């Protein structure tokens, strides 16, 4: 059994809501927080210091952007650079798991940058708890969401011809520190998903909360608060409520 002999486990999670922010700027900010935590862990293991490692949770909305995971297939992006420019969208190949996904206004993107040594060292469990956080949140709106075997993320009507994805997930972890996260379609323009094969999965639709609820617009802040409440319970975390900009 592995014993932690340095700094005590830290369950506090610092929340920052970045608002509408460019994907690359946010990616750089994530990397900064991620690398700081990894470097502190290395110093702790070398017994150069004995400090608690921090945990962060970023909420953000991105302008239109497509991102491709490190194992993804570029052929799942169905348009060329010119068409992307016409749609006012950007494209990045990035270092998370998963295939291609879309981010845009009306979508709640969450990036937990956690030292899992503060919680549990199990990436499979980490992903399942993120999915559960979304499933429990959607249940509060009367939506029966679930997992689809072998396909990370959250879906509706799994196992039927009408299966549709409502939340995509892709993470990176090093030394048990996580980055990247989840993207929940709330008031998202679903037309942008027609420009790609979502997550590399053919013949399955994508949906959003406002489409499923038959509303013009769902209150984003209300959804965020529900996500955070379930996150705290599932992870045994203590969210530090202040919100600041990067």
Q: Which residues, at least 6 apart from 1, have a Cβ–Cβ distance to it below 8 Å?
A: none
Q: Is 2 part of any domain?
A: no
User: What is the distance between the terminal CA atoms of the chain, rounded to a whole angstrom?
Assistant: 39
Cα torsion through 37, 38, 41, 47, rounded to 10: -120
Predicted local confidence at residue 59, as pLDDT:
98
Predicted local confidence at residue 202, as pLDDT:
55
Whether residue 119 is annotated as binding a ligand: the answer is no
Q: Is 120 part of any domain?
A: yes
> Choosing from 196, 197, 199, 209, which is the catalytic residue?
199
Is 167 catalytic? The answer is no
Predicted local confidence at residue 6, as pLDDT:
47
Whether residue 230 is annotated as binding a ligand: the answer is no
Q: Is 5 part of any domain?
A: no
Average pLDDT over the chain reads 90
Domain extent, residue 93, equals 12-240
Q: How many domains is the chain partitioned into structurally?
A: 1
Q: What is the pLDDT of residues 110-144, one digit of tens each?
A: 999 999 999 999 999 999 999 999 999 999 999 99
Q: Is 84 part of any domain?
A: yes
Q: How far apart are CA 21 and CA 194, in angstroms?
A: 23
Q: Is 80 part of any domain?
A: yes
Q: Is 109 part of any domain?
A: yes
Q: Is 6 part of any domain?
A: no
Smallest CA-to-CA distance from 182 within 121, 89, 96 is with 96
Q: Is 7 part of any domain?
A: no
Q: What is the CATH number of the domain that holds 144?
A: 3.30.930.10
Whether residue 101 is annotated as binding a ligand: the answer is yes
Q: pTM score, two decimals?
A: 0.90
Q: What is the pLDDT of residues 164-209, one digit of tens each?
A: 999 999 899 999 999 999 999 999 999 998 888 765 455 578 999 9
């Amino acid at each position: 059994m592995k014993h932690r002999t340095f700094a005590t486990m830290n369950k506090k999670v610092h929340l920052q809501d970045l608002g509408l922010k460019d994907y690359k700027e946010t990616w750089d900010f994530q990397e900064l927080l991620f690398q700081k935590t990894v470097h502190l862990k290395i110093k702790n293991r070398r017994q150069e210091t004995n400090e608690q490692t921090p945990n962060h949770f970023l909420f953000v909305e991105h302008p239109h952007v497509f991102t491709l995971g490190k194992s993804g297939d570029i052929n799942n992006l169905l348009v060329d650079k010119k068409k992307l420019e016409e749609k006012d969208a950007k494209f990045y190949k990035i270092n998370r798991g998963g295939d291609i996904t879309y981010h845009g206004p009306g979508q709640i993107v969450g990036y937990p940058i956690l030292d899992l040594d503060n919680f549990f060292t199990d990436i499979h469990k980490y992903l399942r708890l993120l999915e559960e956080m979304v499933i429990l949140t959607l249940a509060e709106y009367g939506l029966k969401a679930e997992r689809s075997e072998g396909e990370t993320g959250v879906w509706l009507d799994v196992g039927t011809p009408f299966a549709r994805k409502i939340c995509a997930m892709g993470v990176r972890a090093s030394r048990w520190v996580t980055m990247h996260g989840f993207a929940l379609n709330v008031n998202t323009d679903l037309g942008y998903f027609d420009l790609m094969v979502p997550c590399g999965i053919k013949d399955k639709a994508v949906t959003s909360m406002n489409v499923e609820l038959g509303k013009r617009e769902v209150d984003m802040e209300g959804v965020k608060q529900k996500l955070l409440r379930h996150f705290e319970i599932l992870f045994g975390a203590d969210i530090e409520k202040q919100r600041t900009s990067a």
